[in-house]
Structure 1
């Protein structure tokens, strides 16, 4: 069974999630994942460096998608428009048929402190990459940080909603909605009574 198998990536992901859900992430080996998928350990390592990558994938490639989206926006666009374009680009990675995988993944990550920490680190790297890209476009530091934080939070919020059991909404729609809500919430933080020096 050392030859290439069709749909090997999906089979490995589904097998891993089934096992992680049944027994917990720490109790599952790469051999068991490959065996459940009807593949070899060698095939597993063609797709993933370790079993965590089944859940987190190619982080550098993911950050690259955000950068691609930001690069499509004209130079005169504002920081939030740039951040929105980044989220739109990444939305293509989340077709609705992947939603059941996301729901199971979310539960596995939530049940493991190490995986939760890695999830937070992934978000921090994403935010940092967006800040750097916005600064390169000439945005001042505070503007770059706020826009990147809002975009990262909108992305996380959209992912949580998209991964909900029974969700049928497209990721891009949920991301636009989340970003609009966050921008409105941020605007509502300021009022004449709350302004500094009053």
Structure 2
């Protein structure tokens, strides 16, 4: 009977160690995925001032649109949590869409090589960002699932593995951009 009890105790200890290590791996995967999003957001934030400067030279009286983009960029750079940052980044993407729509009203802007290159660079960043968001949200899903399943949730709670936030836009940030051209 003592061997059976010792075998069960060893099996429980092995399971606890395995589950703890799995949760650590999943948490680190979430952190790495978030770092990938952060890299893409930094690339986007670095391009925004260049885009604003390029547009200012052609569309001087579009100051409100350009100020909005700049303000949203600054607000996004100050946030570090996925939930609130997702809302601001969605608003920034909508505002950037309005800036790109200005090229239809300003033929000289549309013909600007600098503006066209910035537009291509931002499209590239958006594609990478979309992939990074999907990967991050998948990592969050896996991590949260691992910490919520029975009996694994006991290990997660005992060692302080909390839930991770998804990166998503809420409410009005999901609405389509309304662009009015003269």
Identify whether the pair has TM-score above 0.5, normalized to the shorter chain.
Answer: no
- RCO higher in 1 or 2 (8 Å CA, sep ≥ 6)? 2
Which has more helix, going by share of residues? Answer: 2
**TM-score, scaled relative to structure 2:** 0.29
Structure showing greater radius of gyration is 2
